[in-house]
Structure 1
Amino acid sequence: MVAFHASALDGVARNPALPTPLLLRLLAFDGGGDGPPRHALQRAGLPETAVEIILAHPNPAARINFAMSARAEPVQRARLADDPSPEVRTALAYGPEWCDPRTTVAPLPDNVCARLLDDSAPSVRTALLDSPHLAPSFIAALATHRDPAARRVAVRAWQDLPPDERSALLADPAPEVRRAAALWECRRNARVTAELIRDPKSAAEALRHGLLHRADAERCVAARTHLASLAENPSLPTDLVERLAIDTDEAVRLAVSLRPELGETQRMTIDFTVEAFDRRNVEWVRNGLADPEVLRRAATSAHPLLLRAAAQSPHLPPDLIRLLARTEDPLVEDLLSVHHPDTPQEVLMRVYTRLGGTFSSWMAETHPRFPREGLAARYADHPDGNYRRLAVRDPAATPTLLERLSHDPAVWTRQAAVSDPRLPLDRLREALHVPELAFAAGANPALPKDEMTAVLNRADVPA
Structure 2
Amino acid sequence: MVAFHASALNGVARNPALPASLLLRLLAAHDGPGRPPREALQRAGLPGPAVAAILAHPAPGARIDFAMSARAEPAQRARLVDDPSPRVRAALAYGPEVYDPRTKVAPLPDAVCRRLLDDPDPRVRTALLESPHLAPSFAASLAAHHSAAARREAVRAWEGVPPGERPALLADPDPGVRRAAALRECRRDARVTAGLLRDPDSAAEALRRGLLTRADAERCLDERTHLAALAGNPSLPADLVERLAADPDEAVRLAVSLRPELAETRRMAIDFTVGDVDRGDGVAWVRDGLADPEVLRRAASSAHPLLRRAAASSPHLPPGLLRRLARAGDPVVDRLLGIHHPDAPEEVLMRVYARLGGTFSAWMAETHPRFPREGLAARFADHPDGHHRRLALRDPAATSTLVERLSHDPEVWTRQAAAGDPRLPLPRLRAALHVPELASRAGANPALPEDGMAAVLDRAGVPS
Q: Please, which runs of 5 or more residues in structure 1 have no aligned partner?
A: none
Contact 1:4 1:458 (C-alpha < 8 Å) held by counterparts: no
The residue identity in structure 1 corresponding to 2:49 is: T
**Is 1:194–2:194 an aligned residue pair?**
yes
Match of 2:216?
A: 216
Matches within 5 A, 1:106-121: 106-121=106-121
Contact 1:7 1:435 (C-alpha < 8 Å) held by counterparts: yes
Contact 1:35 1:61 (C-alpha < 8 Å) held by counterparts: no
Match of 1:144?
A: 144
- 1:96 is paired with a residue whose SS is coil
Match of 1:391?
A: 392
Match of 1:64?
A: 64
Match of 2:250?
A: 250
Structure 1 CA distance, aligned partners of 2:218 and 2:178? 26
Q: Deviations over 1:295-322 (max 9, x none)?
A: 0100010111101100000000111111
**Is 1:424–2:425 an aligned residue pair?**
yes
Contact 2:209 2:233 (C-alpha < 8 Å) held by counterparts: yes
Matches within 5 A, 1:370-385: 370-385=371-386
Match of 2:310?
A: 309
Which region of structure 1 is more displaced relative to structure 2, 386-395 or 117-126?
117-126
Match of 1:462?
A: 463
Q: Deviations over 1:336-375 (max 9, x none)?
A: 0000000000110111111111111111110000000000
Structure 1 CA distance, aligned partners of 2:411 and 2:343? 30
The 1:202–1:4 alpha-carbon spacing in structure 2 relative to 1, beyond 3 Å, is: closer
| Percent of aligned pairs with the same amino acid | 77
The residue identity in structure 2 corresponding to 1:430 is: A
Q: Please, which runs of 5 or more residues in structure 2 have no aligned partner?
A: none
Contact 1:143 1:150 (C-alpha < 8 Å) held by counterparts: yes
The 1:402–1:115 alpha-carbon spacing in structure 2 relative to 1, beyond 3 Å, is: same
Contact 1:31 1:37 (C-alpha < 8 Å) held by counterparts: no
**Post-superposition shift, 1:80?**
1.0
Matches within 5 A, 1:116-265: 116-265=116-265
**Is 1:273–2:273 an aligned residue pair?**
yes
Structure 1 CA distance, aligned partners of 2:268 and 2:89? 52
**Is 1:24–2:24 an aligned residue pair?**
yes
TM-score (normalised: structure 2): 0.98
RMSD (Å), alpha carbons:
1.3
Structure 2 CA distance, aligned partners of 1:354 and 1:305? 20
TM-score (normalised: structure 1): 0.98
Match of 1:37?
A: 37
**Post-superposition shift, 1:195?**
0.7
Which region of structure 1 is more displaced relative to structure 2, 163-172 or 289-298?
163-172
The 1:33–1:78 alpha-carbon spacing in structure 2 relative to 1, beyond 3 Å, is: farther
Structure 2 CA distance, aligned partners of 1:152 and 1:88? 24
- 1:46 is paired with a residue whose SS is coil
Contact 1:148 1:177 (C-alpha < 8 Å) held by counterparts: yes
**Post-superposition shift, 1:160?**
2.1
Which region of structure 1 is more displaced relative to structure 2, 179-188 or 34-43?
34-43
Structure 2 CA distance, aligned partners of 1:195 and 1:4? 62
**Post-superposition shift, 1:211?**
0.7
**Is 1:438–2:439 an aligned residue pair?**
yes
**Post-superposition shift, 1:326?**
1.1
**Post-superposition shift, 1:6?**
3.2
- 1:445 is paired with a residue whose SS is coil
Contact 1:189 1:211 (C-alpha < 8 Å) held by counterparts: yes
Structure 1 CA distance, aligned partners of 2:170 and 2:87? 35
Contact 2:204 2:226 (C-alpha < 8 Å) held by counterparts: yes
Structure 2 CA distance, aligned partners of 1:119 and 1:404? 57
Contact 1:99 1:105 (C-alpha < 8 Å) held by counterparts: no
The number of residue pairs the alignment matches comes to 462
Structure 2 CA distance, aligned partners of 1:10 and 1:345? 33
Structure 1 CA distance, aligned partners of 2:6 and 2:261? 60
The residue identity in structure 2 corresponding to 1:389 is: R
Contact 1:325 1:333 (C-alpha < 8 Å) held by counterparts: yes
Structure 1 CA distance, aligned partners of 2:135 and 2:4? 46
**Post-superposition shift, 1:34?**
8.0
Q: Deviations over 1:260-308 (max 9, x none)?
A: 0001000001111111111232110011111111001000101111011
Contact 1:232 1:259 (C-alpha < 8 Å) held by counterparts: yes
Contact 1:5 1:434 (C-alpha < 8 Å) held by counterparts: no
Contact 2:34 2:461 (C-alpha < 8 Å) held by counterparts: no
The residue identity in structure 2 corresponding to 1:348 is: L
The residue identity in structure 2 corresponding to 1:191 is: R
Contact 2:376 2:395 (C-alpha < 8 Å) held by counterparts: yes
Matches within 5 A, 1:320-331: 320-331=321-332
Contact 1:11 1:442 (C-alpha < 8 Å) held by counterparts: yes
Contact 2:12 2:444 (C-alpha < 8 Å) held by counterparts: yes
Match of 1:450?
A: 451
**Post-superposition shift, 1:209?**
0.8
Structure 1 CA distance, aligned partners of 2:437 and 2:157? 49
Q: Deviations over 1:136-168 (max 9, x none)?
A: 111111101100111011012222222221011
The residue identity in structure 2 corresponding to 1:246 is: A
Contact 2:422 2:446 (C-alpha < 8 Å) held by counterparts: yes
Match of 2:351?
A: 350
Contact 1:70 1:99 (C-alpha < 8 Å) held by counterparts: no
Structure 1 CA distance, aligned partners of 2:181 and 2:141? 15
**Post-superposition shift, 1:31?**
5.2
- 1:61 is paired with a residue whose SS is helix
Structure 2 CA distance, aligned partners of 1:33 and 1:127? 30
Contact 1:27 1:54 (C-alpha < 8 Å) held by counterparts: yes
